[in-house]
Every structure is written in C-alpha cells, then in structure tokens.
Chain A
C-alpha cells in the first residue's frame, strides 16, 4: 500500500524549532518530488514548500511566508522527507501534511499523509 506518515508535531514556544518527518512506503520514494502543505485551524490549504527528486537536483522551493525559516531535506535511503522549522511564530500553528507529486500527474499531489499538528504557543 502506498502511504505517507508524518511525525514530529507538538507544542512549541514561539521562536523555537521543530523538525517534522514524512516517511513513505509502498513506492520508490526517491523517484518523487515531495511537498509540504499546511492548514491552520478552520482555514484552507497553504503550500509550504517542496523538494525535487535527486534526478532533478534535489533542490527546494518555499512559500514566501516560510522562506528563510523552514528547510526541506530528504533521505531517500530511509524514504523520509524532513521539514525543519526554525524561528516559529504563532501563525505557523497548523496541521502539516506531506504529499507526493505524482509522476503521472501534471504537478497534482496524488498521495497525502494524515497530517501532524504543530501548535506554536507560549
């Protein structure tokens, strides 16, 4: 079964850091670009960033709201993508989803994890 599982969420104080993990299974993780999308309580979806597959350089792109604070990386040997979040703000409070950019899609995200909740509060 193709699956993504996020972990690492929790309660953190403003200004602190947190690292989320996204573990894939049931597919060749390294072949896919991986994205992070978040959803603040009661709000819509917001794209956070993505990392290309190594085949396309493994480079990253970020939304303006997190650029310079968040870093995405990947370890294909472990089938894990990471979201390192630094200098957290209260407005970063959200459910964070990782998702896969489908190889047979036109940049559609065809597999999603169940999400992990990040709460930034003092």
Chain B
C-alpha cells in the first residue's frame, strides 16, 4: 500500500506570499492519478488539481501542481485570504484511493 506523506504539517505565511506544499509517496506512482484538495473548516473538500498538474474547473491559476515519481508539489503563487485552509494530496491505484495527512496553511 502506498503511503503519502505531506510536509510541512503547518505552513505559516502572510497573504501575498508564495506557498509550496510537498507530497511524497512511499513508492513511485503514476502522476496521472495524483490529485490535490482544499478543505476549509466545516466544509467538504474541493478538488483543486487532477492528474498532478491540471487545474479543476473554476480553480484560479494561482494554484499549480507539479511533480512525478515520488515527489509532488502544490504551489499557491500568491496567497489570498480565502486560501488559508488544509490541503490534501490523494492518489488512486488498484481501485482504491489514498490521502496524505494534510498540510494546514495558516495566517502568520
């Protein structure tokens, strides 16, 4: 079973700053099946990035995804107030999904 490890656990930044979130897989995975989600308090997750680098419908272009093999990155180019939330990476393989433990992006 593939384990996804996200780092850092918490990222403290100010609005306007750049956020770089990491997701590392315990073994090489198909980047086609790597997704990122945003979750705000008391809300359902929202799909941001699919296929490691494709923005989902309606997602602003300040969100970008990259990576391959075992290392993947979600970048938020300039943080807006509404971007402070928890972010999860997710991988699909063999008819099952695995989530990372999440990275919280908080206001510094």
Contacts and interface: CB of A to CB of B under 8 A. Distances in A.
B45 A63 contact: no
Interface residues of B, number: 26
A28 interface: no
A35 B43 CA distance: 17
B33 A97 contact: no
Interface residues of A, number: 22
Contacts of B67: none
A45 B50 CA distance: 17
Interface stretch (A10-18, A75-83, A86-94, A112-120): A112-120
Interface of B: 32-33, 35, 37, 39, 43-47, 50-51, 54, 56-57, 88, 90, 92, 95-102
A3 to B, nearest CB: 11
Interface of A: 35, 37, 44-47, 50, 61, 63, 97, 99, 102, 105-110, 112-115
Given A105-B50, A106-B33, A107-B33, A97 B44 contact: yes
A106 B45 contact: no
Contacts of B97: 35, 37, 47, 50, 107
